């Protein structure tokens, strides 16, 4: 179990009228070396303020290039009693006690991030190939894929068979990070998409324009909720009880925590980096940050209710957060 902390002080009673849930979070350890743990899956109890690591990702058969490469675990989704988690190039299934069941790979699943389940399909955002893959939850196989083509912020879908060798090359132009599918279509965001994209089955259009670097965008109430990662804030913009514009800073290190030899990337992370977001209720949401921690935010009051801190190691970053019902 990790040592945890609270910032700011918060009681163990219900926050903002909402029962505190358990959360499941994935992490990536930036810059980890071969042979070291480079990420994991963590169960976060907001009521007891505890963090338990349920899966340690120490596979050496990954890409080690760059600061992130193939390190860590990423997206989380649920299908009944099965917990699905992605690594960079693998879809992994666990039971509810986090015992390994099976894993799958595909040539077009590279640097995967967000995933979601909709109508017996699990959709995956494959960053490296600018595409979305679909995995059949009953047949347990990849059966559909769509590359997101872009030119001057005009987008179009190109579908292909992920089991054939004539799919797209490794491009990573849009840095696709998340996908959400629902009755009205599929919503996709990337670091370089300029906003939240909507795929209606035939066309891809811009649903909401967002700042460069926005991640984890959700259509929420009468607006949009997202992490403005580089600014270190969780934002909500909408038109509910009058015009609303919320910007809540994630926990961050102070200047005194910097070391003389810190790189510019390390200094940026120590200033706070927002990543990982899930909705608890119509007023309360949970967001992740670097160094790894999960915070609870009250949108109505525009403040941070509490933070459960995993570590002060700036290399460990939250990637995804989902509510876990045990």
- Mapping DSSP onto H, E and C, the string for 291-315 reads CCEEEEEECCCCEEEEEEECCCCCC
Which stretch of 38-52, 260-274, 300-314 has the lowest confidence by average pLDDT?
260-274
Taking the C-alpha atoms of residue 79 and residue 122, their distance in angstroms, rounded to an integer, is: 9
- Ranking 173-177, 187-191, 238-242 by mean pLDDT, the lowest is 238-242
The reply to whether 56 falls in a domain is: yes
Q: Is residue 16 part of a domain?
A: no
pLDDT in tens, 299-310: 888 899 999 999
Question: Is 4 among the domain residues?
Answer: no
Mean pLDDT of 313-323: 92
- Tell the residue number behind the tokens 């009755």, with chain if given: 183
pLDDT for 11:
39
Beta-ladder partners of 82 = 79, 95
Which residues contact residue 253 at a Cβ distance below 8 angstroms, ignoring those fewer than 6 apart? Answer: 270, 271, 272, 291, 312, 314
Confidence of residue 290 (pLDDT cuts 50, 70, 90): confident
pLDDT in tens, 104-138: 999 999 999 999 999 999 999 999 999 999 999 99
- Please give the model's pTM, rounded to 2 decimal places: 0.90
pLDDT higher than threshold 50 for residue 64: yes
Query: Does some domain include residue 99?
Result: yes
Per-residue pLDDT at 123: 98
Total tally of structural domains belonging to the chain? 1
Domain of residue 294 covers: 22-324
The CATH number covering residue 232 comes to 2.120.10.80
Predicted local distance difference test score (pLDDT) of residue 240: 66
pLDDT higher than 60, residue 167: yes
Q: Does some domain include residue 15?
A: no
State how far the Cα of 28 lies from the Cα of 40, in Å rounded to an integer.
Answer: 7
Q: Is residue 14 included in any domain, yes or no?
A: no
Short-list 86, 20, 88, CA closest to 55: 86
- 261 in any annotated domain: yes
In a domain, 12, yes or no: no
Quickly count: other Cβ atoms within 10 Å of residue 208's Cβ.
Answer: 18
């Amino acid at each position: 179990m990790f040592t945890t902390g609270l910032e700011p002080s918060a009681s163990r009673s219900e926050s903002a009228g909402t029962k505190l849930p358990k959360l499941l979070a994935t992490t990536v350890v930036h810059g980890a070396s071969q042979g070291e743990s480079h990420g994991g899956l963590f169960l976060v109890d907001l009521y007891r303020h505890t963090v338990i690591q349920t899966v340690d990702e120490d596979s050496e058969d990954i890409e080690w290039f760059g600061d992130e490469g193939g390190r860590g675990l990423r997206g989380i989704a649920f299908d009944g009693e099965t917990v699905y988690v992605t690594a960079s190039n693998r879809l992994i299934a666990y039971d509810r006690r986090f015992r390994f069941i099976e894993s799958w790979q595909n040539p077009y699943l590279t640097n995967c991030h967000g995933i979601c389940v909709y109508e017996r399909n699990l959709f995956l955002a494959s960053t490296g190939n600018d595409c979305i893959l679909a995995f059949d939850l009953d047949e347990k196989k990849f059966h559909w894929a769509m590359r997101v083509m872009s030119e001057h912020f005009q987008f179009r879908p190109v579908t292909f068979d992920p089991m054939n060798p004539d799919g797209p090359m490794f491009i990573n132009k849009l840095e696709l990070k998340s996908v959400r599918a629902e009755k009205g279509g599929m919503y996709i965001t990337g670091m370089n998409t300029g906003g939240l994209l909507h795929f209606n089955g035939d066309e891809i259009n811009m649903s909401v324009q967002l700042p460069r670097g926005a991640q984890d965008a959700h259509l929420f109430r009468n607006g949009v909720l997202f992490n403005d990662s580089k600014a270190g804030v969780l934002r909500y913009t909408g038109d509910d009880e009058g015009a609303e514009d919320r910007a809540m800073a994630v926990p961050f290190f102070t200047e005194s925590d910097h070391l003389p030899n810190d790189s510019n990337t390390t200094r940026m992370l120590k200033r706070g980096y927002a990543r990982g977001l899930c909705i608890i209720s119509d007023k309360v949401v949970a967001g992740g940050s670097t160094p790894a921690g999960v915070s609870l935010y009250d949108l109505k009051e525009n403040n941070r209710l509490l933070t459960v801190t995993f570590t002060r190691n700036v290399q460990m970053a939250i990637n995804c957060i989902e509510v876990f019902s045990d």
